[in-house]
Amino acid sequence: MCGRFAFYFDDFSDVRRFFHVDVATEIPQSHYNLAPGQAIPAIVSDGEKNRFGTLHWGLQPAAWCGQGPKPINTRVETLRTNIVLRQLAERKRVMIPASGFYEWDRQKQPYYFSLKDQPWFALAGIYDVWRTENGQTVRTCSILTTKANAVVSDIHTRMPVILQERHVPEYLSRQEIPLAKLKSMLKPFRESDMRRHKVSPKVGNFRYNCVECVEPVE
């Protein structure tokens, strides 16, 4: 699964260029310990422009009418059997910018995973936006997960889907993409391009939000 991640930067204009953001409805701050239930950075397309904003992490599709679970992760395999989640994947896709993500081993030791040669990467997600009967707007998302690659697998059996650069434009498009085609984009990322290191157990507390979260420890 993916239950914590970091997204930090020195200059947001660099982020805009890197992810080809045309419109930013919110200017974020660096965050080293993003957790479920929080508003997390998100990039969606309106069909013409890529828009940067936030979505709450924990999916509440309109079809569920605010009932049931609020999954922070959605297994790629589940898209085949759950029609609501499949339809969101085919029609409402979101790109979640990240610097790295955390995972814990069986001894509760946290690790930080990132890319070797890039400051950021795009996590694949699905989202929905709808209004309740009293007019409240519900804006939520879930991060897609796949089986872990060799860098992650001895720590956890799952990992978030990291989009390959060549897949980003199509994934972010508003075009409906059949699941059979979409699945080719939702595979484990190349382990040769990833790295990991141990970090402080303090990251288990979501209130611990500082650069020390991502720094290596012995």
Q: State how beta strands 194-198 and 110-115 pair.
A: antiparallel
Query: Which H or E run includes 141?
Result: strand 137-147
Q: Tell which phi-psi region holds residue 65, choosing left (phi > 0), alpha (psi between -120 and 50) or beta.
A: left
Measure the CA–CA gap between 5 and 109, rounded to whole angstroms: 15
Burial class (CB in 10 A: 0-12, 13-18, 19+), 32: buried
Query: Is 213 annotated in the active site?
Result: no
For the chain, the residue count is 218
Q: Which residue has the tokens 């999916």?
A: 59
Task: Name the catalytic one among 65, 103, 170, 212.
Answer: 103
Measure the CA–CA gap between 58 and 64, rounded to whole angstroms: 13
Query: Is 65 annotated in the active site?
Result: no
Residues 6+ apart with CB under 8 A from 26: 52, 53, 54
DSSP state at residue 214: G
What tokens appear for 210 in the block?
């500082």
Active site residues: 2, 103
